Amino acid sequence: MDDQRHGEELAAKGVGFVDCGVSGGVWGLQNGYALMVGGDEDNVKRLMPIFETLKPEGEYGFVHSGKIGAGHFVKMVHNGIEYAMMQAFGEGYELIEASDVVTNVPETFRSWQEGTVIRSWLLDLLNRALTEDPELDDLRGFANDSGEGRWTVQAAVDHAVPLPAITASLFARFSSRQDDSPAMKVVAALRNQFGGHAVESAKGADSPGADVTPHRSELSWGCRASFGGGRLCGRRRARTRGLVCTRGLARTAGLGGRGARTGLGAGGVGRGPACP
């Protein structure tokens, strides 16, 4: 870690080093800053008058987390937790807003400020934002990251610690910055190729050509295998499960014939493949 390297370099010159992670945002000046420090005990004690001035009043808001580097490390993890908590509030908000039975979304969140398990300062701030803009119409769903989330995920990799919630919240921010996802373009193209699923044109869903006819590799009798382990066949019987014959009965065990198409797994019924 950079802190440890800096500490060693300064120690060689007789200079002490203390690292300090700071939290509190723009409200810190009013409420005090939460301080997380790392360093030798003597150096931390020497700086305590400064820390006492900056920290919130009372028992909490300051910790000597450990040796050099510990303060910045726990502050990094603190911000990773913050990422996941904000993402959880955001996802909950979107789901509630999508419901046709909830008619008062802002008041629902406001009611949670007292007596609930999820009451928190972040919830208070969300309610403040909803008071100013009840539908959040003035905002775009675009979120940058300042680095701590990435560092937290990288530290998890280095320590082989599973961090699914924090990692997902970081990736969600990446997704927020994409007007059109290249990865999902590939997914759409593949679904169209193997399953004949409709795709949306880059020109828009209602433009000509939005539903593209799938590319088909057809043999003499037009049998087409779809997802689910099927294979292309000619005049032979199609040995695939869930085959639906457009000219005859559908049989789950597989039945060949002209114009036959396979479905997904056993028991395919209908005139088209069922694909994910």
Per the residue annotation, which of 41, 52, 75, 185 is the catalytic one? Answer: 75
> At CA 173, angle to CA 132 and CA 91, rounded to 5?
60
SS3 49: helix
**Tokens standing for residue 118:** 């999820």
CB neighbour burial string for 119-155, b if at least 16 within 10 angstroms, e if fewer: eeeebeebbeebeeeeebeeeeeebeeeebbbbbbeb
> Which residue of the set 41, 57, 82, 107 is catalytic?
82
Largest CA distance in the chain: 90
Residues near 7 by beta carbon (within 8 Å), at least 6 away in sequence? 17, 39, 68, 69
Catalytic residue flag (residue 75): yes
Distance (Å, whole) CA 90 – CA 52: 35
- Residue pair 231/217 in contact (Cβ under 8 Å)? The answer is no
Could you confirm whether 185 is annotated as catalytic? no
φ/ψ region of 136 (left if φ > 0, alpha if ψ in -120 to 50, else beta) reads left
Residue 119's nearest CA partner among 109, 134, 131 is 109
What span, in angstroms and rounded, lies between the C-alpha atoms of 201 and 195?
17
Nearest to 19 by CA among 66, 78, 82, 77: 66
Q: Where are the alpha helices (DSSP H) in 99-181?
A: 105-111, 121-132, 148-159, 164-176
What are the residue numbers of the active site? 75, 82
